[in-house]
Amino acid sequence: MDVAVIGGTGVLGQPVVAELLERGDTVRIVSRSTPVPGSAAAALLERGAQHRAADIRDGDALAAALQGVETVVDASNDQRAARELLVEGNRRLLATEAAAGVAHHVAISIVGCDQVPLGYYRAKVEQEQVVAGGPVPWSLLRATQFHQLIDYLFTAFARMRMLPSGAARVQPIDPAVVAAHLADAVHAGPSGRRPEIGGPRVQTLGELATSWREAHGRRLPKAPLPLPPKLGRPLRAGALCTGAAATGTPDFAQWLARAGERAAGAGGGESVSEASGAARADAARDDAARDDAARDAGTRRAGARAANTLHGDVKESVSR
Ligand SMILES: NC(=O)c1ccc[n+]([C@@H]2O[C@H](COP(=O)([O-])OP(=O)(O)OC[C@H]3O[C@@H](n4cnc5c(N)ncnc54)[C@H](OP(=O)(O)O)[C@@H]3O)[C@@H](O)[C@H]2O)c1
């Protein structure tokens, strides 16, 4: 089957492309930037995928990129311009697909996005409505947060000598597992809302912080993530979690261990690679020396700023 993966260079897009190639599909990656030689995305081109540079906001380039495509998987994302890409961009994408004769649009959304008052999640709900009311027969899968997102959160806080903690519950999943479900949807044909999928374990942010700290050999203190009640309540109640757990797939600690092994094998360079060898010992010593400073109020304020940066709109939620 001829499949275009919009955002095929991203965290989810790459395993989607890999999975479709594995299943014998002809795959066209569509994104704004051409994969850099030596990158993981460039390796997909060596395996047979093609790349078309196009911006979802540019109708002509998009139309050219979709010629001859039977199915589109939309794995694009832009946290900073969520509504522009996921809502307005999706309307344009679907109209362009309809004009190009695309028979099936496969969309990805987030478990519980309609339960948690964040602007990004509101954009995801709107994106779902655009897809369901659009001109192209569709399938839609909701998944929980990817391991990379949780790793990113802790890495961002670690720069400020602390880790966010608390009882907010998440169920991180390996995007390769989500990619397999999306490839199933591609081959099943238009099937509307598909059964949602989540990671193998529901864990609190505090438990995940402990796993991250152990994987990295860090001694950073944990501090509660400052969340407004209307956000904290649904997160503690598990609004982002699902009973549909992908059992037998890596949980966060196992994913971190494998990412560390991969990074060490590749000669380092990624954040997880700090978990190994001398870097790990240095980090632990460094942390011990700075523990006291990390507990002061200034650091906590810095943590709150990082939370705002990650969610983009926690501030917006507080003020409403
Ligand atoms: N991250 C999570 O935890 C999570 C969980 C559940 C569902 N999801 C959903 O999964 C999807 C993918 O998320 P992700 O985290 O994999 O995203 P990502 O890693 O940020 O990748 C985004 C991709 O979209 C492309 N892109 C961005 N703007 C574009 C534009 N204007 N035109 C064309 N391509 C564009 C990017 O390439 P260029 O920048 O080169 O264009 C990149 O390939 C999103 O719908 C997200 O809501 C994510």
- Is 161 among the domain residues? no
Which pLDDT tens digits describe the chain residue by residue (320 residues)? 999 999 999 999 999 999 999 999 999 999 999 999 999 999 999 999 999 999 998 889 999 999 999 999 999 999 999 999 999 999 999 999 999 999 999 999 999 999 999 999 999 999 999 999 999 999 999 999 999 999 999 999 999 999 999 999 999 999 999 999 999 999 999 999 999 999 999 999 999 999 999 999 999 999 998 899 999 999 999 999 999 999 999 999 999 999 988 888 775 444 443 334 444 444 544 554 444 344 334 444 444 444 444 444 433 333 33
> Is 109 inside a domain boundary?
yes
Q: Would you say residue 288 lies in a domain?
A: no
What three-state secondary structure class fits 170?
strand
Q: Is 209 a member of any domain? A: no
Overall residue count recorded for the chain in this entry: 320
What is the predicted pLDDT for the residue at 267?
56
- Domains held by the chain: number: 1
Q: Is 298 part of a structural domain of the chain?
A: no
User: How many Å lie between the centroid of ligand 1 and the Cα of residue 220?
Assistant: 30
Q: Is residue 278 part of a domain?
A: no
Which residue range forms the structural domain that includes residue 71? 2-144+175-193
48 in a domain, yes or no? yes
Angle at 313 between CA 310 and CA 317, to 5 degrees: 130
Residue type at 146? F
Residue nearest to atom 41 of ligand 1 (CA): 32
Judged by DSSP in three states, 40 sits in: helix
Ligand 1 midpoint to CA 149 (Å): 12
Mutate to test the pocket of ligand 1, among 31, 45, 197 (most ligand atoms within 8 A of CB): 31
Q: What is the pTM of this model?
A: 0.88
| Among protein residues, the one whose CA lies closest to atom 4 of ligand 1 | 145
Asked if residue 60 belongs to a domain, the reply is yes
Mutate to test the pocket of ligand 1, among 12, 55, 153 (most ligand atoms within 8 A of CB): 12
The alpha carbon dihedral of 72, 242, 150, 304 has a sign of: positive
Give the binding-site residues of ligand 1, using a 6 Å CB cut-off. 6-7, 9-13, 31-33, 55-57, 75-78, 85, 108, 110, 124, 143, 145-146, 149
Residue nearest to ligand 1 atom 46, measured at CA: 77
> How many whole angstroms from 29 Cα to the centroid of ligand 1?
12
Tokens of 40: 């993981």
Domain with residue 104: its CATH number is 3.40.50.720
Which atom belonging to ligand 1 lies closest to the Cα atom of 29? 43
State residue 263's pLDDT score.
82
**DSSP type of residue 36:** P
